[in-house]
Amino acid sequence: MDVPPIVDADWVLARTDAADPSATTGVVLADVRWYLDGRSGREAFEAAHLPGAVFVDLDTDLSASGPPEAGRHPFPSPEHFAARLGALGLGPGATVIGYDDGGGGSAAARLVWMLRILGRPAALLDGGVGAWTGPVEHGPGRVPAPLDVPVEPWPASWFVDHQGAADAGARPDTVLLDARARDRFRGENEVVDPRAGHIPGARSAPWAENVDPHAGRFRPDDELEARYRALGVDDTTEVVAYCGSGVSACTDLLVLEHLGLGHGRLFAASWSGWSADPGRPLALGDE
């Protein structure tokens, strides 16, 4: 794929058609702001967003409903995802740049990863809203012309199920990464999901630690590579990532791709799905 998984604002500005921000080919900006604390991503979008951007709702556009074991954000069916892409004007010919205001794209990474595993050009905007150097717009945003987007099945090789996650934690040749904050990994602070802790054998890899807190952008590549190598990841390692609901783990997966450390797989049900079953084991602390 010619489009790298992570790009900066200059990359986007050099490729954005300022005369026609509603173009369905070329670069299309997608605002995927979402907040675990219940704040409205839509309200944040309307307060200020990148020119020509469309708002993508994590809950309705990028997720489905399901039983508790499927997690808080189950993947949508291929039919639903194609229909929502069409309604948002995100056609197959568009290069989609996803962003949010989390620096490391903890919500936008979900859209970008979904598109990339289908072979569609998409990238995460490094630094999101905070790193944008161009103008912004206010209000409800543009209404895209609906498109007919072909349905493509999710490639099974990019995912693991509950048993696959358990195996990843137990196998010495596989690294199971937990992208949640360290206090949730340890089981010290769990206010969202049914039980506290982590999948046995997992290693703590918070997505937020990919970001320089002062610059609000991803850390330099050498620092990122050192971080993941310290976790046991190299370009031959099999990696599985999870988080609370299969969203922010996509940030870790995109960073690994960016570094040339392979294409990890996602446990989409993540901790919310794992912890919903009281019969599944858990670990606490730094194990």
Kindly state whether residue 151 falls inside one of the protein's structural domains.
no
Segment 232-253 mean pLDDT: 95
Compute the distance between CA of residue 49 and CA of residue 30 in angstroms, rounded to an integer: 10
250 is catalytic: no
- Domain of residue 166 covers 156-275
Average pLDDT over residues 209-228: 96
Indicate if 256 and 209 belong to the same structural domain: yes
Is 196 among the domain residues?
Answer: yes
Q: What is the pLDDT of residues 86-144, one digit of tens each?
A: 999 999 889 999 999 988 889 999 999 999 999 999 999 999 999 998 889 999 988 88
Q: Do 217 and 131 form a contact (C-beta atoms < 8 A)? A: yes
- Identify whether 284 is part of a domain: no
Q: Look at residues 81, 114, 131 and tell me which one is the last residue of a structural domain.
A: 131
> Are residues 92 and 42 both part of a single domain?
yes
Q: Number of structural domains, the chain? A: 2
CATH number of the domain at 160, please. Answer: 3.40.250.10
Could you tell me which of 160, 242, 238 has the C-alpha nearest to residue 207?
242
In a domain, 243, yes or no: yes
Determine the Cα–Cα distance for residues 243 and 264; give it in Å rounded to an integer: 14
Assess whether 176 and 127 both reside in one domain: no
- Of 84, 115, 131, at which residue does a domain stop? 131
Q: Is residue 192 part of a domain?
A: yes
Q: CA-CA distance, 259 to 31, in Å (whole number)? A: 24
Look at residue 24 in the predicted model and tell me its pLDDT: 47
26 shares its domain with 116: yes
Position 27, amino acid: V
**Res 22: pLDDT:** 47
Same domain? 74 vs 166: no
- 206 and 103 in a common domain: no
- Report the alpha-carbon distance of residue 266 to residue 168 in Å, rounded: 11
Last-in-domain residue among 131, 166, 191: 131
Q: What is the mean pLDDT of residues 149-165?
A: 97
Which residues neighbour 37 within 8 Å (Cβ) at sequence distance 6 or greater?
Answer: none
Cα radius of gyration rounded to whole Å, the chain: 18
Two tokens, residue 161: 């199920």
Q: Which two tokens stand for residue 136?
A: 């912004």
Query: Contact 30/4 with Cβ under 8 angstroms?
Result: no
* Residue 103 zone, left/alpha/beta (φ > 0; ψ -120 to 50; rest): left
Give the active site residue among 243, 249, 255, 268: 243
Neighbours of 220 (CB within 10 A): 11
